[in-house]
Amino acid sequence: MTFYVALAVFAQEVTWNFFDSQVPPLLRAHLTSTAVVGLLMGMDNLLGIFIQPWMGNRSDRTRTRWGRRVPYLVAGMPAAALVFLLIPQVAGSLSLLIATMVVYAVICNGFKPVSESLLPDFITPERRSRANAVVKIAAGLTTLVAALISILLVDDHPSAAFAIPSLLMLAAIAVIGFRVRDSRSRGYQRALAEDESAGSRIRVRTIILGILRDEDRSRLLLILGIFVFGCAWAAVRALMTPYGQEALAMSRGAAGGLALPSGIAYLAAAIPAALLAERFGRIKVMVGGIAIFIAAMALGTIWQQPTGSYVAFALGAAGAAGFMINAVVALWNLAPSARVIGTYTGLYTVGWASGAFLGPAMVGAFVDLTSWRSMLVGIGVIAALAALVITRVGVLQRNRAAAP
């Protein structure tokens, strides 16, 4: 079943990665401010802050013979693939381009927490890091796909370049629609049992108030740490291509290919990040991964050549894997009930999407004030703040474990 969950995530990420890589140059054809480009690239994440928790909770409360997740995927993914095809066709008009971006973002945000919630529905808590590593490998493969398409097709065949991710998404969801019924999952069956014993289903507002009022701030701080590191990671992804063009004098296609070695490094680090978390603890591995990411940003600033950037982005992706493989698992395992797993996935995405919305704009503004050659410095400072927050989560967990 892990394979099908990974396929669902692959289907959603295959267009997102290419979107992050190649839409910024389309916007820059109309806009001169890097901050505005970063803000527009983060707009989809702003929408996610509102859409994803609601959709995660809605899927938690859905009961059908197919289960509570798959119906939303079968409806949403084909629609997103078709809208994605329109992006290069409307790129000549800024207003049409932005409108298409908004429609695409609304649809994708509707099914993103749903697909990711399939994993804790089927996988037990102690095995979730390993399973999530496999899922993240699938997501990482889409980074490689996006980079290869950028290198081979974007400069000469932009419309065909956008068509390939759409076709891959359609093929993946066709398999999922025929093969997956999450009504058979352990999580779905537990939710049904809890419905009978607990009565009414839990609303998003109730869940959020419970987190805010909890004297143990672990869940709240974990979401905050996810937000801060999301700022750093999203800035790398959204601004990597223009960074390669402006700071390293690379072509648009070659700059889009900067993600290729980092995608490979992320894939290589995913399983070790899960195994290390099972042995030493998820929080320790998350903090260690951020430390590696910060060191990579420093290396890229010092060795500011294409080769140095390939190395730095690859090292940074390997470090980021330590955080990204384990962060959502840590939050899932703090959920008090199987009935709220989708909502907790949505709350994870609130933190991540909030960071992804603000991060590119913040770093873009920093670039406007300094220069493109200073971009990695700003990203490293943001990541350091994330390390401090996650370290505090670890302190709270140790104190709770030591309490009589």
Indicate the pLDDT class of residue 195, thresholds 50, 70 and 90.
Answer: low
pLDDT, tens digit (0-9, with 9 covering 90-100), for 142-164 = 777 777 887 777 777 778 888 88
Q: How far apart are CA 397 and CA 166, in angstroms?
A: 43
Cβ neighbours of residue 275 closer than 8 Å, sequence gap 6 or more: 130
DSSP label of 316: H
Are the C-beta atoms of 242 and 249 separated by less than 8 Å? Answer: no
Single-letter code of the amino acid located at 171: A
pLDDT, tens digit (0-9, with 9 covering 90-100), for 312-360 = 999 999 999 999 999 988 898 888 777 788 888 888 988 887 887 788 8
Q: What angle do CA 329, 332, 338 make, to 5 degrees?
A: 140
pLDDT at 288 over 60: yes
What is the pTM assigned to this prediction?
0.76
pLDDT at 252 over 80: no
pLDDT, tens digit (0-9, with 9 covering 90-100), for 257-284 = 787 788 788 888 989 998 998 888 889 9
Q: What domains are defined for the chain?
A: 2-399 (1.20.1250.20)
Single-letter code of the amino acid located at 36: V
Indicate the pLDDT class of residue 197, thresholds 50, 70 and 90.
Answer: low
Helix residue spans in 61-150 (DSSP H): 70-90, 94-116, 118-122, 128-149
pLDDT for 80 equals: 92
Tokens, residue 301: 């600033």
Tell me which of 214-218, 288-292, 296-300 is least confident.
Answer: 214-218
pLDDT for 267 equals: 84
pLDDT for 1 equals: 63
pLDDT at 190 over 80: no
pLDDT, tens digit (0-9, with 9 covering 90-100), for 49-79 = 888 888 888 888 788 877 788 888 888 999 9
Share of the chain above pLDDT 70, in %: 96
Please count the CA atoms within 13 angstroms of the CA of 294 that sit on its side-chain side.
16
